[in-house]
Structure 1
């Protein structure tokens, strides 16, 4: 297990270009299973989750080229014999190959996926959607078995705003006979990016009146080119890093529409913010005010930024309330911040009260998931002395060269 050793007390300054979005890249790569011609995907981040997904596609028989953040996927005869169970169990987003494989092959058997430990994330909503499309489903002993002679369009009312379930059902419905209407669908930017990609391949999908998605089945999907959207979660992470170090940073290559909820909160607490075309300059201009934050489905505040903004709350005047109703395990980072000197009370698995301003002191800590790991690295930038963050491989799952890029902005981080 690798470690990051961080010397605190250095302001961040300069410019950085935001990477392609992890949460958009993996479903789009999974969707290539449906294509019958070459797909070229640009702005793919060089992260371990992407590399694992590419290995899974290779195991299915696809020819893969990955160079300069561009992936080319050439379809060959798809085979389930090459699926690596170990890779499936490493990657939470491997669940996204279920829909495309069911649609293309008519059957699929997979173990339950792995991924971050952020609470219970059952796959019932995925399986419910497949059943509504006409698939036979067996979920037993942590193994998933799906089969269908021909999927048929249906009206599906999802019991939760599940991003991956929405994506999986969209992909399964693309080649189904008839029209599928998904209600209570997730409409996060990466879901819309997946829809845009599938439509470029010849799909017929549209978002209609808020959380409703309509999929008209087509006989065949072709090939095409697509550029993955910028990572708004990475942008939000660098924004917090700038504010806690009282620095000044320009983020290039952002989509402002995807950051509306973040910008609104930043303006409310008094952060310095200047927007221009495809870029934002963030700077510390005065002591920040405490805030209430509730993670919500899009267009609400993203759950993946709850942890970094929980850290930011330690540097705000007054008591902030952080509420994440989506996952009960997302507060693991708070216990580590308390060790470092934060004044925080975990009210229940979904809510925490954090009172600032508090100084943090460096020590050895551990991030249990991707976003907690990134948050604790930022805590190390803020803390007095040396902070050691165990489990930096979690960071590599979703942030491209995170430590190297922070160092270029003025941080002092060493990897061991």
Structure 2
């Protein structure tokens, strides 16, 4: 699955893309659920877990704590963190991945003191953890920022209160939930993120015995409990992967059957495809992408759920290169997430980055194979799609970063007819 920093995809564009592809479990739902097993006494069996480098890194961190972790099926995990010991935490592994920030809440709730490095991850602008710290401090944590770029959090006990988040932060909401489920009393989280992965985490914790209400809204009420018990659970399908494959279908003029979707998670994605002119049919849990004749320019603004997801603005950016007219893409959530447009411009796109949050794209323009570089996970997937519709050979460097969010993407697309060779 995962390669190294020099992994390249050699892509030959223009092949017909047709067939069935099953959507995987959502990485951004699996990692918080895995982190939350630290709160549970007993075995948790979690199904539909994607084999991704970020997931494996999170599992390695749990193993370093002494948790029993075993793959019991193709995408099924058994985790028993009853014997976890905070003293053995692998801090280097924590520092290497952004989603390790999700360990703050459960480690603090369980061990009452934790020193954790500032997390790493994709370089897509300034992503402060202040909202996380604010939430945990509201629940009673004392926080020290150390000289060695670590944070020490201490709390002899956590106490339910009203937590008002200063922004709709998915991971800060998840941290607040995990810290609050066994806090004494009632916690009310206002301005909570409502993304499907937040709901997924809450449903997992409720299955283990937590008392969380309001999931899917911006106000959560959590009644603290004394203990959580082992349970079985299934991770939701990844709507970001669904959206990525939908863009691929819209651009390659084949017929792609995306299996295992959750239609109730796709409202804004399907509405946006409708407005652009991408043809599809939805039959139960199958999204069928059909050949599209003319694609229309569009305006897109990334917003918190149920708005358009920031993780799909890049794939829709490559879609804009093939639309008739001028499109505007605006991502106010992160600055510096438009660097992939410079790579698309090398391939022939007519795009102007107006500022760190906005890009204007005029099309349609043919794309030509070039040597290009993946700056982050979603940019990598976007440039992979660009290579598949470009004339000639595209060499995509730093391709292993795509493994952080798309399981065996080259092998799965190869089965649809794509010409992709992984070179380590």
1:193 counterpart residue number: 200
**Quick one: structure 1 residues 209 and 370, their matched pair in 2 at CA, closer, same or farther if it must change by over 3 Å?**
closer
CA distance in 2, matches of 1:32, 1:112: 22
CA distance in 1, matches of 2:7, 2:251: 25
1:75 offset after TM fit, Å?
2.6
Size of the aligned set, in residue pairs, is 416
Deviations 1:300-326, CA, capped at 9 Å, x for gaps: 000000000000000000000000000
2:30 counterpart residue number: 25
1:388 corresponds, among 387, 395, 403, to: 395
Gaps of 5+ in 1: none
TM-score normalised over the length of structure 2:
0.97
Deviations 1:159-201, CA, capped at 9 Å, x for gaps: 1110000000100001000111111110100000000000000
Conserved in 1, the CA contact under 8 Å of 2:250 and 2:292? Answer: no
Residue correspondence of structure 1 range 101-250 to structure 2 within 5 A: 101-141=107-147, 142-207=149-214, 210-250=217-257
1:75 counterpart residue number: 81
Gaps of 5+ in 2: 1-5
Conserved in 1, the CA contact under 8 Å of 2:321 and 2:362? Answer: yes
2:65 counterpart residue number: 60
1:335 aligns with 2:345: no
2:55 corresponds, among 25, 50, 53, to: 50
1:314 aligns with 2:314: no
2:289 counterpart residue number: 282
2:3 counterpart residue number: none
Conserved in 2, the CA contact under 8 Å of 1:11 and 1:242? Answer: no
Secondary structure at the counterpart of residue 78 of structure 1: coil
CA distance in 1, matches of 2:146, 2:347: 43
CA distance in 2, matches of 1:42, 1:276: 24
CA distance in 2, matches of 1:268, 1:58: 47
Higher mean alpha-carbon deviation, 308-317 vs 280-289, is at 280-289
Secondary structure at the counterpart of residue 272 of structure 2: helix
1:209 offset after TM fit, Å?
8.4
1:40 counterpart residue number: 45
Conserved in 2, the CA contact under 8 Å of 1:345 and 1:352? Answer: yes
1:397 counterpart residue number: 404
CA distance in 1, matches of 2:288, 2:225: 44
Conserved in 2, the CA contact under 8 Å of 1:206 and 1:214? Answer: yes
Deviations 1:194-224, CA, capped at 9 Å, x for gaps: 0000000000001168311111110001110
Conserved in 2, the CA contact under 8 Å of 1:327 and 1:350? Answer: yes
1:377 aligns with 2:399: no
Conserved in 1, the CA contact under 8 Å of 2:66 and 2:84? Answer: yes
CA distance in 2, matches of 1:198, 1:110: 23
Conserved in 1, the CA contact under 8 Å of 2:195 and 2:216? Answer: no
1:2 aligns with 2:7: yes
